[in-house]
Structure 1
Amino acid sequence: HIAPGINLLADLLLGFSMMLIVLDDFKLRTQRLRVVNALTTTIARAQQHGPMMLTALEELKGLMKVKAAWFRVLEGDKMVIAQHIGISPEFLKAAGYLKLGQTQQKVLQEAKPVVIKAAAADDTVREYLKQEGFHHIVVTPVLGKKSPIGTLALGSTQRRFYTREDLDFLSTTANQLGIAVENLRLLEQVLRSQRQWMNTFDSIQDLILAHDSEYRIIKANQALLQRLGQAPFAVVGNLCEAVLPRKDSDWTGCPYCARGDADFIEGPDPCFGGHSMVSTSSYSEQGSKQKGIIHVVRDTTERQAVEEKYRLLFEQVQEGVFVATPDGKLLDCNDAFVKMLGHSTREELMALNVDIELYASAEQREAFRREIEHHNYVRNFEVTLRKKDGSLLTAAESSFATRNAAGAIERYQGFVVDMTEKKRSEDDMRRRNRELNALNAMAVIATQSFDLDEILNLTLRQVMSLFGAETGSIYLSDLDETTFRRRAGWGQRSEQRAHFSEVVFPDGFGDLVMRSRTEVLTLEFLPHLPPLVVDFVQADGLPAWIWVLLWSKDKPIGIMGVSSREAREYSSNDENLLVAIGRQLATTIEKVRLYEETCRAYEDLRRTQEQLLQSEKMSAVGQLIAGVAHELNNPLTAILGYAQLLEGEGLDERSADFVRKLFKQAQRTHRVVQNLLSFARQRKPQKQEVDIRKVLEETLTLRDYDFKVSNIAVERDFGPDVPAVTADPHQLEQVFLNIINNAVDALLESGGGGALKVRIASENGNVCTTFRDTGPGIKDPKRIFDPFYTTKSVGKGTGLGLSICYGIVKEHGGDITAHNDPAGGAVVEIRLPASGRVAPAEAAVAPRREAAIEGRILLAEDEEAVLEFERDVLVGAGAQVVTAMSSDEVKNRLSSETFDAIIINGKMPGDWGAPEVYHWLTEKYAGMEKRTLFTFSSVADQEIRKFLQENNVPLLVKPFEVVDLIKHARGLLQQKAQAASAD
């Protein structure tokens, strides 16, 4: 049951609600109508679409209650925000320029608004919409008459439902805006075109005047307005007579129309004075029969002034200007042309015939006619003109031909330039070029060559060519700075000059020259020169001469001079040129001399280095030979010793003969080893009297095996009474071995076999040693002793052997030469000064018998064969012998037994050499070191030899004779016996 009055209340509420809805709808419509009115007003007043669109965005933003609104313009395939309100700079920077996406394309194609939620937007703008806080955006297409213009977007942060009326309103508004934007764009384009035309019209510098048929001004450009000093409103619409000034002329209507109907008229300007050229044309407006006139006025006052200047130039120019006919009549010319040809007036010159009376060469005139007929002009054509006084003038003509309508030449006109000064300048230029070329040639040869004679001769030839001289000479000073020698000379020499191939100036070149460092000597210096210098500079006997001193710091290092038969005076330019050449030549001479000194120093250094390398090589060879000798001397000691012992055993004759041959061959082997050691040992030269025959024989023994294997016969011719020479036998052995090696190599290269002849004889106080082989000879005997010169193949020779030999022989005061024998082969000869005494013969040692030795001897050797031999010899001589083969065994024996003497190897294993053994004995068994004998295979070590000599230690070098071992052992035991008797 419904209470009474409820229905009435419901009806009232419903009616009130409907009234509110109607009122709200009315209010919304009123707002929309206000927005439409505002947009209509804005569109009607707008001149540009940008401000208009910004106003529309503000109205729509307020009406639709949204946060932001923006307008995107379609530009190709891009959508660009053109106007906006309510969006952040970050959004504008990130999303202001987007490619045309699917959503945008759909909106434009469907031509109706679309509501897009931020979450469902394209990937390209979704994040940016969320950052702005938008819940959704409403995108409405903005369409033009023919194509879409862009889109209108409204961004809202709240949820909202849009009615059909809302969307239709947005669509209608966007269409209005699209049409307005399109119209405004067209208007802007028209206005822009109009402004461009007006700018072009006003930018023309000529005066432009447009008037109608009643002479009322329709248009005037900015140039005319500025010339009049009037604003456009004061000119346009007024009559020409009221606006344009009058300048000393009467005219009516238009001043430029009054001058005639010609299209182009040039003359005095009726309005502004001066001169002008007027272009006149008529026109009629579209859709109207009324005609108008346009005048374009160009000011030619400046051009008229320029023409006047050119007229004055014609009159006043210093080059000759002329106008003449082909038949030789002179039509016009300037005063310079008159003056150039020596005439007093223009009329006087113009009365002459050009071809006959002015041009001196008919051939030149004919060539001129051909050239100008072919090319219509000539340029710098050289002609010879005849002056009034009959003298000739060389000139350069540049002219052209003027032709008539038929193509025939009517006249010549052009310029004539006096070439006299130019000729002189060209001659100077050619002279300068010759000088520069000569200096350049001298600089090039000075740079590229270090041959001083070549440089001096080329420089002298260039100087003689420059100065046109017949003779020339260059002298350079010696180290004494007073002697000058001729190093270069050209031309025929006088008899007196021939005597001056070398000249000495004891007083120099005089005090004045030396104090002032004079560089050029001419006739004016003769009174100040010493008499000898005066005779020297005038020795060629020619009238013209000049000399230049070549200075190096404060002293002259040379002098150069040239002479000529033709009398002439040398100008200051000539002297300056000669000074420049002299300075350059002096610098070059110093450079070459420095280069030569550097080369000599380098050569000395290289020779020293090579000698050092040779010395190091010989040292290495010596070490190698010493090692080999050590290994050979031990068995040789045993062989020789046992051979000597066998000789005393009373063998039968056949066995004794075998023993003697064995002993002889062992001794031969021993000599070979000793010669090798002697040859390879590095030591300071020690000169003594030596028998050169013995030295040579020992050297030949070193190559005896090679002689036999290579089938080389050695022929000896040793004189019986050959005197001794004072020399280092080891260095002589090195010289002989080098020569023999070269001879063997030459014989082997020619196929093997042959002969080597060796001769020693005494000749004129010298001992002459000659080596003669049957090989192919020497290719270049003059260079055979030069360092690094070799004829051997790569890797077989250094070219130092004979160079070192040459140095050794010269150090001994001798001489070495080489040449080829006419019969074939090479000949090397060595001459050494004889000492004046016959070489002493080796004294034979007479054997003697000694008594038996008694005592205990400790014998220590590291090689068993040598140890057994020495023990057998000492036991056979009567001694008691205890042996040891190591240092430890020696120490043990000495600590447990007593010995009268010690015989020990000087190089026991375990670094127990002679110095170590000697010091150890001195410390442990004082006095025993005095009764110790050391044996060595070789004593090449300098330190060991020095130690043995300083301590007077007895030693034996293997292989040694049996008697020598017994003799030293007896001496040691006798020292023991003498010490015991003294006690």
Structure 2
Amino acid sequence: MEQFDAACADAILASVIRSSLDCIIVTDEAGRVVEFNPAAESTFGYSRAAAIGAEISELIIPPRLRGGDASGAYPAGGLPSLLGRRVEQTAMHADGSEFPVELAITEAWSGSRRFFTACLRDLSERRAADAALLASQARLEAFMKHAPIGMYLKDTDGRYLMANPEMAKVFGRPAEQSIGLSAADIFSPEEVAMIAENDRRVLETGQVVAVEEFLSEALDYAWSLVVRFPVWEDQEQARIGGFDIDITELKRSAERLAESERRFRAVTHHHPVPVVFIDPRNQLIVANPAFREMMGVGAGDEERFLKHRWFATREDYRRINALSRELSRVDGVEAHFRRLDGSVFPASLSWRHVEWDGQQVIVGSILDLTATKAAEAALARSREALAQSERLNALGSLLAGVSHELNNPLAVVVGQAMVLEELLAGTENADRAARIKRAAERCARIVQTFLAMARERPPQRRSVDANDLIRAALDIASYGLRTAGIEVGTRFADGLPPLQVDPDQMHQVLFNLVVNAQQALQDVPEPRRIVVETSLVGSEIEILLSDNGPGVPPDIRNRIFEPFFTTKPQGVGTGIGLAFSLGVVQAHKGRLDLLDNAGGAHFRLRLPVEAAAVAQPERGQTQVAKGGVGRTALVVDDEPDVGEMVALFLETEGFTVTTVADGASAKQALATTTFDAVFCDLRMPHTDGPALYEWVRDTVPQAADRFVFVTGDTLGSSAARFLEQAGRPVVEKPFSRETIRQAIATLSPAP
């Protein structure tokens, strides 16, 4: 029976050990494991079979702690020294990673054998929870510290228990000095009564209370929106929480607004623009003196004026009345008015729906367009002159292209004429040489003039509103659109960021698009419509201009931006407008596209809102002594005559000159010889000037500072970009001895 009882007890003990949620490890006196329960297997990563018989210190104690230390880790005396104690120490997983545990050691005997039972509990989650709590407290403290509004907590007796630093502006003292104080210790009696009353409301109702409070001594928080709320504890209100939001500036703004409205009424009376206020029943509320004067209202005309029909026709009245009910904001609607004396005049109406003395009214301004209409008539007469000017501009571009091709031979003619004049000085042919020189110089000046006319001016950019640009273009085109029976609709997005563009150039682009649409609608039956829309798409402002005309046939869609391509009859267009517009838009880093939409032509213009003019880099100039005696120069030009001319001018400045006709020969010369100056043509077959310069910068960088580029490609965009980036001196063809001399003066001397 005793044997049965012992066996039963051992089975029960083994079952308890195996089912325990805590790690249980049993060792003999030598520290070898005799039992290792499933919780220990799961925690440490060893199987029971692998653990039985192993030394416990080798199994779960990190190597750095096995000898024991003064920090409470596994002691040098082994498990017996921990009997009756509950300690925290570091344990080790099977993979060698360490984790914190709580350890309790008990002693057991089986006959004469002594055993030790180690009960371990993984503390990782508790440690993580403690760390999370500390982090949460730190975040709460940071939130309170940096919150831009006052935050506090006080007990039901009104004493402050917590207050963030922003509350110092409310208290008039550091927030920490107010802890434990009540409102009576901080504020005036009147303010204390106000605060106490609002606290009472929270305590009695248990609801959130938001009120405006005024503190006479405060600066930033003179006016506050104070939100009080109950803080519950065990289902009973134990605290009062509060937020103080500074609304001082809002209050002051409201006061300024009220004063502004008073001034507005006074200004309206004296405003030079005719202004009227009309109530929802179309009854006149206010008509300033300017309006009365425009309508011819004199002394004694008041009663007749109030009954007078302002609009010249019933159609105008019905149209404007319908628009005023439909649209709350309108600018520039035209109609005809009739004065008291019966005379009729054209006018432009703009209005807004505003609140006035508690009711919605219409505030309108009326501009007499008599002078404007006269100006539009004059503008119409000048349009033919503008068309002629466009044709002349196209001719100028053509001449500029021809002039560019003349640069190389002109460079030779000008240079040789100068040399010939010097060689024949004092002879009977000297006058002939001088005449040749003067004629050559005249040709050069003409070419330079054409190039200057054709060279694009960098955009003069400034901040402008896209909607205002469109309005300006439509204003100029309004007469032609109206007389052509074309309706213009606009859908402008509000709050668009400003564009950094050249207003004159962009105005011309928009005007070109409008005029193109007008001409496309010329033979289209009514209704004829043009719609302009603006919107913000990402970081770009998008302008869509569409018409209900015949559209662009598919077979010519890819050609409409080509210079001189036009589908218009002879004398109506030159084909320059869209090409010019595309160039301007691309110079502003924008895009101009013809969309593939049905029903008319649809153009989309997109401009980046951050587009800005690129400043020209400063070119470093190191002045050296004039003259090149004893100095060497390399001339690289695929045109032998031009190369000879440059070499001749350099030789007259005292240089010893080497001339090559291509980039490959130039590389050989530069690799073996140090030159004081390198005059290189920009455009050459195979290795051109930019490629040679890049090779020099990588291979013989000391020669890069002695480069001068000779070019006639002053109109090419790629050439302009390269020269801007390189920052090297440039000699434009046709050149002279003086331009060569000026270029030499900018070079750094060779070492």
Q: TM-score, normalised by structure 1?
A: 0.23
* Greater helix content: 1
Higher relative contact order (CA 8 A, sep 6+): 2
Q: TM-score, normalised by structure 2?
A: 0.29
